[in-house]
Structure 1
């Protein structure tokens, strides 16, 4: 039996922090805004990692597939072939590309070189892309969780 607990918990934490990110007030200190946004990016990465790893187990254990790839993109392609996604495969491949950024630093660009802490909206393109995709990822991950576990998301 597959344990979905880590995937579920990471998804709930991501969902909670993303709501905080969407609701934060521009009057908050820059460091607080940055901390909230950075937390969303980190939680996205954690949840993404749990999603593809539990999906791999699902493909092997529940669907009985013998030849399952070890890479997230290969797993996503196989999941798509088995109709496990409500969203297009391209969305899941985009999530993979977002997760696999080579630069893990949240600070990029001119303000980072000058030693200043940038506001989240001044982050590099990679981090901004992650923040923009997070809402869609949450919806798709919830759908995947419900498909695999058979449980309704609360």
Structure 2
């Protein structure tokens, strides 16, 4: 049985912090604004990692696909082939790239690019969570 609890919790934390980020007062000191942005990126990383690992387990345990690679991109491609993704596989590959680029750099253009994907990622991750877990809410 697949445990969706960590995926759900990480998604809820990401969504809450992204809402904080979106409603930041521009008068806040730049350092505080950057801290919230960095927190969003860190929560994205945790959620993303939970997501692809749950997806891998789903492919193995529910669909019975043997010999699943242990990295996100091939898993997203397999999920797309099995009609599991709520959006085009290219978008999931963009999320994978964002995750890779933010591993050691939360500043500059890479961080901005990652943050620009958050609304779509949260919507897609929520839809995937609901589809896999058969839950209607987060």
> How many Å apart are 1:103 and its aligned residue?
5.7
2:74 is the alignment partner of 1:74: yes
Q: 1:63 maps to which residue?
A: 63
Q: 1:19 to 1:102 in 2, by over 3 A?
A: closer
The two structures have a TM-score, normalised by structure 1, of: 0.86
Q: Comparing 93-102 with 71-80, which one deviates more in the overlay?
A: 93-102
Corresponding residue for 2:112?
A: 128
Q: Kindly report the root-mean-square deviation, in angstroms, between the aligned alpha carbons of the 2 structures.
A: 1.1
Residue equivalent to 1:33: 33
**Equivalent position SS for 1:68:** coil
Give the Cα separation in 1 of the matches to 2:110 and 2:38: 12
Number of residue equivalences: 138
What's the counterpart of residue 47 of structure 2? 47
| Unaligned runs of at least 5 residues, structure 1 | 108-123
**C-alpha distance in 2, partners of 1:78/1:103?**
24
Separation (CA, whole Å) in 1 of partners of 2:44 and 2:86:
20
Q: For 1:103 and 1:47, how far apart are their aligned partners in 2?
A: 14
In the alignment, which residue of structure 1 is the partner of 2:21? 21
Cα offsets for 1:120-153 (capped at 9, x unmatched): xxxx111101100011000000011011100012
Q: Give TM-score scaled by structure 2 length.
A: 0.96
What's 2:133 paired with?
A: 149
Larger Rg: 1
Change (3 A) 1:103 1:63: closer
Q: For 1:100, what is the secondary structure of its paired residue?
A: helix
